Amino acid sequence: MIPILSLADLEAKIDAFDPIYYAKTRNYIDGGVSYLSPYLSRGIISLSQIVARLKNRGFSLYEVESFVMELCWREHFQRLWQQHDPTLALRQEQQDVLHRQQLPLKIINAQTGIEAIDKGIEDLYQTGYMHNHLRMYTASLVCNHYQVAWEVAAPWLHFHLLDADVASNHFSWQWVCGANANKLYFANQENINKYAKTQQKHTPIDVTYEAISALKLRGEMNSFSFEFSFLKQSEQTLHIDPKLPNCVYTPYNLDPLWHAETKANRILFWDTDFWQAFPVSEKVQNWINALGKHNIEGLQIYYGTLADLQILTKETPTFCKEHPSTKKYPFLLEPRNWLLPDVEVVPVSFFSFWKKVQKHLLKNWKQH
C-alpha cells in the first residue's frame, strides 16, 4: 500500500494531491489524507519543498492552510526534539497510571473489541501505516482508559510504523495522555463510528462524552511484557574509496538531492546505539533501505556504531545532515530545510509555533 517511490514520482503524487478535499475529509479514516509521512519522515522530500509546490500550483496559503498546518506539526515536533528529550514528559507527568511495565495483550493482538481500532492495528502490522485518528483513538484507549504509561506504549507503535519518528510519535502519545497538553484526548464509540464509518454499539467506550473522561477500564488488562529489539542486520562490508568524500545518510535523511553533484561514498548509516534505543521492525528497516537504494545511486547500507563508522571514514571529509540523532557525530553537519529557518526559542504550544510559521509563510507567499 505504501510504495517505494522515486523523488519524481513523489513530486507527481504531491502535485496530484487535493489539499481542499483534504481539509474537508482528513479526519475520516477513508478521507483524502496524503500518505506522505513515510517519505517525509525519511527526509526524501522536505516540508518546504511541498509548500513550494503548492504555491506553484497557484493556491493561496488560506486555501491550503489546513494541510500546511498539519505539516507544521512535524516541524514543531522536530524543533522540540532539538531542545527536549522526547522520552521525558514535555509538560507534566501522565496522571492515574496503573501499568508501567506492560502493554495489554488486547492491543498487541488487535482484540480490543472496538472494530475500527482492531482493524487499524491489523492494517498497521500489514502495511506499516495507520491513519492519524486511529493513532489517537488507540493511544487514548491505551493510556487514558487502560491506564498504561505512554512510555510503554509509544515504542510499540514506533516499532511498526514506516514513518517511525521519535519526535512525532513520542510527543503525540504525550499529547493524547496529557503529558504534552493541558487536557487528555478522548473519543467515545459514537465519535469513532462517525469517522471510521462503523456502526458498533455496546462496546466499553459506548458512553456519552460526559462519561468518557472518567472511564477507566481496569479489568481489561491482561498484560504482556513485550520486548522490542532491534535486529542488527548482517554485517556488511563498506567499500570506501579513500579519495572521495563521504556522505552519511540516516533513516531520517534520505534526501536524493543532497550533494547529488558530488562524487562521494554514500552510506546509509543505521547507528545501532540509537536504533537499539528506538527499535523498528525488520519490515520497516527493509522498506527504508529499499527507499534509500531506489533514490540514491550507489548507496551502501551500514549497520554499526559511530566509532566503527569513524574508523572506516577517517581518510576524507565526511558530511551528514543536522538532526537530534546526529548531534554528537564528529562529521561536517549541514543544515536541514525548515518552514521557519530561524527560531531561537521553540514554544511548547503548537499554536504559538504555528503563528510564527504562518506569519513567515504569509510574508513569502505574498512576495511570490
In the region spanning residues 282 to 311, those forming contacts with ligand FAD, defined by CB under 6 A, are none
- Least distance to ligand FAD, CB of residue 330, Å: 28
Which residues does 136 contact at the CB level (< 8 Å), separation at least 6?
Answer: 172, 176, 185, 187
Neighbours of 163 (CB within 10 A): 21
Q: Could you say whether residue 26 binds ligand FAD (CB under 6 A)?
A: yes
x/- map, 161-200, ligand FAD, by CB under 6 A: x-xxx--xx--xx--x------------------------
Q: Tell me, what DSSP letter sits at residue 145?
A: I
Nearer to ligand FAD, 118 or 308 (CB): 118
Return the residue of 29, 89, 114, 157 that touches ligand FAD, per CB under 6 A: 157
Nearer to ligand FAD, 157 or 268 (CB): 157
* C-alpha span between 363 and 102 (Å, rounded): 49
Angle between helices 166-177 and 132-139 (to 10 degrees): 50
Nearer to ligand FAD, 38 or 304 (CB): 38
- Least distance to ligand FAD, CB of residue 239, Å: 33
- Least distance to ligand FAD, CB of residue 310, Å: 29
210-217 contacts: CB < 8 A, separation 24 or more?
Answer: 212/186, 212/187, 212/188, 213/184, 213/186, 215/145, 216/96, 216/145, 216/147, 217/141, 217/145, 217/146, 217/147
- Least distance to ligand FAD, CB of residue 248, Å: 22
Q: Could you say whether residue 36 binds ligand FAD (CB under 6 A)?
A: yes
Dihedral pair phi/psi, residue 71, rounded to 5°: -60, -35
* C-alpha span between 254 and 3 (Å, rounded): 16
Q: Could you say whether residue 34 binds ligand FAD (CB under 6 A)?
A: yes
Nearer to ligand FAD, 121 or 157 (CB): 157
Q: Tell me, what DSSP letter sits at residue 87?
A: T
In the region spanning residues 63 to 102, those forming contacts with ligand FAD, defined by CB under 6 A, are 70-71, 73-74, 77
* C-alpha span between 231 and 318 (Å, rounded): 27
| Window contacting ligand FAD (CB under 6 A); options: 83-91, 99-107, 132-140, 295-303 | 132-140
- Least distance to ligand FAD, CB of residue 156, Å: 10
Which residues does 202 contact at the CB level (< 8 Å), separation at least 6?
Answer: none
Which residues does 323 contact at the CB level (< 8 Å), separation at least 6?
Answer: 250, 252, 253, 336
87 within 8 A of 170, measured Cβ to Cβ? yes
Cα angle value 144/149/154 (rounded, 5°): 95
Nearer to ligand FAD, 116 or 139 (CB): 139
Q: Could you say whether residue 139 binds ligand FAD (CB under 6 A)?
A: yes
63 within 8 A of 24, measured Cβ to Cβ? no
| Window contacting ligand FAD (CB under 6 A); options: 35-43, 283-291, 338-346, 351-359 | 35-43
Nearer to ligand FAD, 77 or 230 (CB): 77
* C-alpha span between 357 and 289 (Å, rounded): 32
Q: How many residues bind ligand FAD (CB under 6 A)?
A: 29
- Least distance to ligand FAD, CB of residue 66, Å: 9
Q: Could you say whether residue 37 binds ligand FAD (CB under 6 A)?
A: yes
- Least distance to ligand FAD, CB of residue 41, Å: 4
- Least distance to ligand FAD, CB of residue 342, Å: 21
Q: Could you say whether residue 40 binds ligand FAD (CB under 6 A)?
A: yes
Q: Which residues pair with 104 in a beta bridge?
A: 223
* C-alpha span between 269 and 259 (Å, rounded): 16
Nearer to ligand FAD, 139 or 148 (CB): 139
Nearer to ligand FAD, 35 or 226 (CB): 35
332 CB-side CA count, 13 A: 10
Q: Can you give the binding site for ligand FAD, defined by CB under 6 A?
A: 26, 33-37, 40-41, 70-71, 73-74, 77, 131-132, 135-136, 139, 157-158, 161, 163-165, 168-169, 172-173, 176
